[in-house]
């Protein structure tokens, strides 16, 4: 019986260590984000978000960053098989409707994962 208490004590200690390291990582990330407020990446993101407001309700082509690609958007929204339409946007997220041969889907996409937005000329 003492063995079970010892095992739970070890698991509790490991959980505490993991949560404390996580809070340190969150604080470091918040400091890093506060530091980029005046940099060029901040200006590019602000310009992108301003452009998104002009594209709401229109069919667009979304180019996502390579590590953030979504299969539905790449395969069906940006080809001859369908369209992407931005339904709503705020500072962090885009609500995109994907019309394709497979049906209609709505997806939330993080604004930071969008590299470029352009009007879809085929529609």
**For 54-73, what is each residue's pLDDT tens digit?**
888 888 888 777 766 676 67
Phi and psi torsions of 107, nearest 5°? -135, 145
Pick the CATH number of 40-119 from 2.160.20, 2.30.30, 2.60.40, 3.40.1350: 2.30.30
Q: What is the DSSP letter of 113?
A: G
User: pLDDT band at residue 38, thresholds of 50, 70 and 90?
Assistant: low
Render pLDDT for 85-110 as a digit per residue (tens, 0 to 9): 889 888 778 888 988 777 888 888 88
- Average pLDDT rounded to a whole number, residues 43-50: 72
Category of 57 on φ-ψ map: left (φ > 0), alpha (ψ -120 to 50) or beta: left
Beta partners for residue 60, in sequence order? 84, 119
In whole angstroms, what is the distance from residue 51 CA to residue 45 CA? 10
Enter the tokens of residue 99.
């019309």
Count the helix, strand and coil residues of the chain and give each as a percent rounded to the nearest 5.
Answer: 50, 30, 20
């Amino acid at each position: 019986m003492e063995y079970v208490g010892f095992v739970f004590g070890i698991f509790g200690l490991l959980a505490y260590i993991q949560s404390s390291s996580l809070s340190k990582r969150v604080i470091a990330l918040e400091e890093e984000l506060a530091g980029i407020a005046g940099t060029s990446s901040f200006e590019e993101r602000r310009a992108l978000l301003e452009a998104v407001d002009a594209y709401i309700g229109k069919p667009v082509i979304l180019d996502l960053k390579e590590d953030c690609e979504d299969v539905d958007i790449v395969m069906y929204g940006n080809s001859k098989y369908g369209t992407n339409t931005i339904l709503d946007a705020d500072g962090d997220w885009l609500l995109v409707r994907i019309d394709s041969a497979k049906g209609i889907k709505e997806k939330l996409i993080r604004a930071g994962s969008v590299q470029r937005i352009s009007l879809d000329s085929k529609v």
